[in-house]
Amino acid sequence: MRRLIVFIAIVIISMEASAQKKQVSYLALGDSYTIGEGVPAEQNFPNQLAALMRKQGVEVKGPYIVAKTGWSTD
C-alpha cells in the first residue's frame, strides 16, 4: 500500500510538472496487479491512468507496460 501511495504521488507531481509542456511518457513497472491479469487491457491500471490523464488534457505517450506475473523486488 505504501508503494502505491508513493507511486500515485510521483504520478501527480509528474503531471503537475508536465502541465506546462502537456506531454508525458508513461512507463508502468510491476507485477500481475500492474498488468491487470485476467482483465481486458483497457481496464488495467496503466491504461485507466493514461485515459484519466488524457481527459485532463495531458498528452500521454504509452502507457509502456513492463510487468510480469510474479515479478518482485526481493
Model confidence pLDDT, tens digit, residues 26-64: 888 888 888 888 889 889 888 998 999 888 888 888 888
Q: Note whether residue 3 is domain-resident.
A: no
Q: Tell me the pTM.
A: 0.63
Give the residue numbers spanning the domain of 44: 22-69
Q: Note whether residue 50 is domain-resident.
A: yes
In order of 20, 21, 74, the CA distances from 45 in angstroms are 25, 24, 23
Q: Which residues contact 57 (CB under 8 A, 6 or more apart)?
A: 22
Of 12 and 30, the one with more pLDDT: 30
Q: How many domains does the chain have?
A: 1
Closest to 63 measured CA to CA, from 7, 39, 49 = 49
